Structure 1
Amino acid sequence: MLLKIEKFMDKVIDAVGYLTGILMIWLILNVAWDVMMRYVFHDSSIAMQELEWHTFAVIMLYGTGYALRYNAHVRVDFLYDRMSPRKQAWINVWGTIFFLLPLALLVIYGSYDFVMDAYTTHEISEDPGGLTHRWIIKAQIPFAFIFLIFCAVNFLIHNINILRGVEPPLPEPQEEVME
């Protein structure tokens, strides 16, 4: 049963990762457009520049959960890599329960007033010509951390399956070596 739940959650996380990849393409196009407008036509748009920052923020926020799914997150590798897969799974379980989940819940709780304040005051950019509806980007903070909790539960299930012996550990991400 846990394997089926994990596989379903993997598909949801992969779909969000795919959408994040599309956002990355949008960000590249947005930056290229902004650079062309600025240096070729000597015109620039504050809204386009702000859109770059906001798109980058969304990519980073949602990309964190996607990185967790593929075991590509940051940790103290020089200790962790020397441990058996079973010990690694135990560290992942306890680290997720005692560090990741409480932090994500704290950010969700702490960002609620931040988002609601932006929404109720109809916050807009301070720069003339900037983006309106600032609450939309600010709302991505709690939503991304809800997604991170979803990913953390998936990570827990995966590590529990490793401890149960029904699933092999995820391979470590490979680093590209330049020759």
Structure 2
Amino acid sequence: MSFLLSLSRLIDKINEKIGLGVSWALLLAVLICAGNALVRYTLNTSSNAWLEIQWYLFAAIFLLASSYTLRRNEHVRIDVIAGRMSKRTQVWIDLFGFLVFLLPMTLIILYYAVPYALLSIQNQEVSSNAGGLIVWPAKALIPIGFLQLTLQGISELIKRIGFLMGRVDASEFEKHASTPEEEIEAIKAANKLN
């Protein structure tokens, strides 16, 4: 179990760093979006490339930050009923969800996404829009993002099993911040460590 817990901590650390790095892509996407809108309305000109780079950045944010979101236990869930149950029962519900829903779905998507991305890379696929960008980097993000999510799902499984065995404290997988102010402070603290 010690090896698995070490593996879990490594996966957590990697996804934490990627998640924090992807936060800069959000800033870049917002700046590009605002700049594109300003140019379009003031100079009455635009480019499909600028629109597509926004889409690619939002795809990168969504795909690469989903494992970070799972790591921080921030995924959408219905806590109305589970919140009233004991921590052990909640952990069993999580285990069921990871084993029956999350991991099978991520593995199915990976099964289809890898050849899909490889074909796009082999063909050096380019957007069909005039002035569009190359498409294969965006398509390559699909298997990368779902591989991260699969690994984070495995990490979460390890932590939940460790909790049930009495080897892991629940604080390792509970939400890290409950208010926006606490979330901002957590991000500041994480950035100071890097």
The TM-score normalised by the length of structure 2 is 0.83
Cα deviation code 1:110-155 (max 9, x no counterpart)? 12332233223332111111102x1111011111111111111111
Letter in 1 for 2:90: Q
Deviates more, 1:153-162 or 1:15-24: 153-162
Once the 2 structures are TM-superposed, how far is the Cα of residue 43 of structure 1 from its aligned partner?
Answer: 1.9
Deviates more, 1:118-127 or 1:13-22: 118-127
Once the 2 structures are TM-superposed, how far is the Cα of residue 10 of structure 1 from its aligned partner?
Answer: 2.0
RMSD: 1.9
Once the 2 structures are TM-superposed, how far is the Cα of residue 65 of structure 1 from its aligned partner?
Answer: 0.9
Once the 2 structures are TM-superposed, how far is the Cα of residue 175 of structure 1 from its aligned partner?
Answer: 5.1
Tell me the distance in 1 between the aligned counterparts of 2:110 and 2:131.
Answer: 30
**Paired residue for 2:191?**
none
**Paired residue for 2:141?**
140
**Paired residue for 1:174?**
178
Which one of the candidate residues 30, 33, 37 is aligned to 2:32? 30
**Paired residue for 2:157?**
156
Change (3 A) 1:64 1:40: same
Where does 1:95-114 land on structure 2 (aligned, <5 Å)?
A: 95-114=97-116
Which one of the candidate residues 55, 58, 63 is aligned to 1:56? 58
Aligned residue-pair number: 176
**Paired residue for 2:128?**
126
Q: Which runs of 4+ in 1 moved over 4 A?
A: none
Letter in 1 for 2:164: L
Structure 2 residues not aligned, in runs of 5+: 181-194
Q: The residue matched to 1:124 in structure 2 has which SS?
A: coil
**Paired residue for 2:43?**
41
Letter in 1 for 2:151: F
Once the 2 structures are TM-superposed, how far is the Cα of residue 62 of structure 1 from its aligned partner?
Answer: 1.5
Tell me the distance in 2 between the aligned counterparts of 1:47 and 1:62.
Answer: 22
Tell me the distance in 2 between the aligned counterparts of 1:161 and 1:22.
Answer: 33
Once the 2 structures are TM-superposed, how far is the Cα of residue 79 of structure 1 from its aligned partner?
Answer: 1.9
Deviates more, 1:163-172 or 1:12-21: 163-172
Cα deviation code 1:83-112 (max 9, x no counterpart)? 111111111122212211111110011123
**Paired residue for 1:78?**
80
Tell me the distance in 2 between the aligned counterparts of 1:167 and 1:121.
Answer: 47
Once the 2 structures are TM-superposed, how far is the Cα of residue 51 of structure 1 from its aligned partner?
Answer: 0.5
**Paired residue for 2:95?**
93
**Paired residue for 2:67?**
65
Structure 1 residues not aligned, in runs of 5+: none
Q: The residue matched to 1:125 in structure 2 has which SS?
A: coil
**Paired residue for 2:187?**
none
Once the 2 structures are TM-superposed, how far is the Cα of residue 57 of structure 1 from its aligned partner?
Answer: 0.9
Tell me the distance in 2 between the aligned counterparts of 1:155 and 1:108.
Answer: 19
Tell me the distance in 2 between the aligned counterparts of 1:116 and 1:7.
Answer: 30
Q: Percent identity?
A: 33
